[in-house]
Amino acid sequence: MVLKKMISMYNKQEIIIRYHREGKSIRSISRELSISRKTVSKYVSSYEASLLSSSCRSTAQVDWLNTAPCYHLSSRPKIRLTQEVQSEIDHYLSLNEEKRQHGQGKQCLKKCDILSLLHQKGYQLGYTTLCNYIRSKSVSITPEVFIRQSAQRGQDSEFDWGEIKLYIDGQLRRVYIGVFTSCFSNTRYAMLFWRQDTLSFMECHVSYFSYCQGVYHRLVYDNMRVAVARFVGPHEKEPTRALTELKSHYGFSHRFCNARRGNEKGHVERSIEYVRRKAFSVHDHFPDLESANSHLLSILSELNKTKQQLTGSSADELFEQERELLYPLPSSPLSCFEYTQLRVDKYATVSYHTNRYSVPEQLVGRFVEIKVYSNYIEIWQGNQLIATHTHCYGKHQWMVDIEHYLVTLCRKPGALCGSTALNQNVYLKQLYDTHFQDCPKDFIELLHYCHKHKTEPEKLEASVERLLNNVPQRISCEKITALLGNISPINTVVNDTTSDSEIHRNSISQLQQITYLLENQTLCNPN
């Protein structure tokens, strides 16, 4: 039975007061309140009937006056919501149900979409009427009931992936954040990765256990591909090899949530949005992914020190209560890498997932071992590490180190100018174009010197800068190497008996002597 208010509670009470207390007629009350005489008469008759039918007159009076006025709509015909319109709405609702069954739940029609389609067909229906009808179709569905859970110390921790867009080196890139949240203390830990792959999944776990200095008894996951290998029956799921290796190494158990049941790991579901907003709402420009991870860890440290509303304690304080209940860490962390063997091609590179990584040129045609981590790649020959590169997730990219081609460049100095190895090193490219464009052999000799003496790039830049400040007219390989030989390594302690000014004066004196000798040699040998 559908009920709808007719007049206000105030008008209903005023009718009774003016009729019984003030003794006014129905006609005068109708005129004063601007209400139909039939309506006034109906409420007066209803009031008197309720008093006569009740044994307690005072109780009946209070109940009747405090009941909101209403009238019945069940017998009124629907003017706009006809049977034809209802059939159209039912058709669209059935289409939505078919889409949900085929996994197209995000493509269902909303109520506003159904209303727009009805208007296009010429049906003049209101949005409220449509919503009431759709709601009436689902009245029989029992609302879902949720059971409140109490977390135990050191027992459960939840993991999930999230997505973030950041400016990395000036370019807007999509990165993925792996987030852990303890169910008891609500301690949060997160890391950024380029991919949601197996290597990132394993490395994130290893880093989390190292951060906790212990292992939670059980980890909770949804149906992510890096954790669930396949479904076995309607409810059982088989874990992936990566999750099995993590479990066997660290000794924890796991639990998978039911499909589309984010409430079964509600701690981490909320944490992803919270951490993403707190860490990257204002600061979203970083030179590289490592800087973004450092920023994320600093924000998480502050968040874990913040007092929580429900407990009055911070996450760090609660974590100390459960730290002693965690499983101990194994003697060594799990190695998270993919291993493969590849042959070195004619460009002194190995190809991995369409990208090429350089190795020393003497290894052309040989096989080398590749260890692929989430953020970098190691190349080994036997027990010797011969190259390390950043793991590139692009397509058909070249990651080359110019030091791997020095012997070949000595034989082919003309190939230096347009080489990919030189163009990928911004500073060396600028130094070559500015001072060595006409003498590539001297530049290659400088590279040989830096490689032989393991000169750090910062030390080379500092030497060139000092040379430009003192002898800006002519820069040569001899002057740079002479200055490099007289500069102590960066971050080393200088002998207390020798001041910085003395070192500076001695370097300038040697440079002047070298310049004088070179100029005299040029005058004596003009050819």
Domain at 39, CATH number: 1.10.10
Looking at the DSSP assignment, which residues form a beta bridge with residue 387? 379
3-state class (DSSP) for residue 121: coil
Phi-psi region of 170 (alpha: psi -120 to 50; beta: other; left: phi over 0): left
Residue 147 lies in a domain: no
For residue 181, being part of any structural domain is answered with yes
pLDDT in tens, the chain (527 residues): 344 446 788 888 888 888 888 888 989 988 888 888 888 898 888 888 888 877 777 777 777 777 777 766 556 667 788 888 899 999 999 998 888 887 777 788 899 989 999 999 989 889 998 998 888 877 555 677 777 778 889 899 999 999 999 999 899 999 999 999 999 999 999 999 999 999 999 999 999 999 999 999 999 998 889 999 888 766 688 899 999 999 999 999 999 887 767 667 777 888 888 899 999 988 999 999 999 999 999 999 999 999 988 788 899 999 999 999 999 999 999 988 888 999 999 999 999 999 999 999 999 999 999 999 988 899 999 889 999 999 988 889 999 999 999 999 999 988 888 899 999 888 888 888 888 888 888 888 889 888 888 888 888 888 888 878 876 667 778 888 887 775 444 333 334 334 455 665 666 666 666 655 545 444 344 44
Candidates 165, 174, 236, 251; CA nearest to 205 is 251
Q: How many distinct structural domains can be found in the chain?
A: 5
**479 in the same domain as 358:** no
Domain boundary, last residue among 351, 368, 400:
400
Is 94 found in the same domain as 28?
no
Q: Which domain holds residue 127?
A: 83-137
Q: Based on the domain organization, do 227 and 315 belong to the same domain?
A: yes
CA distance 363 to 350: 10
Alpha helix positions (H), 54-121: 57-65, 83-101, 111-120
243 and 278: one domain? yes
Look at residues 21, 45, 72 and tell me which one is the last residue of a structural domain.
72
Reading phi first (left if > 0) and then psi (alpha if -120 to 50, else beta), residue 19 is in alpha
Instruction: Let me know if residue 88 belongs to a domain.
Output: yes
Same domain, 360 and 506: no
Bridge-based pairing of strands 218-221 and 156-168 is: parallel
In a domain, 314, yes or no: yes
For the entire predicted model, the pTM comes to 0.62
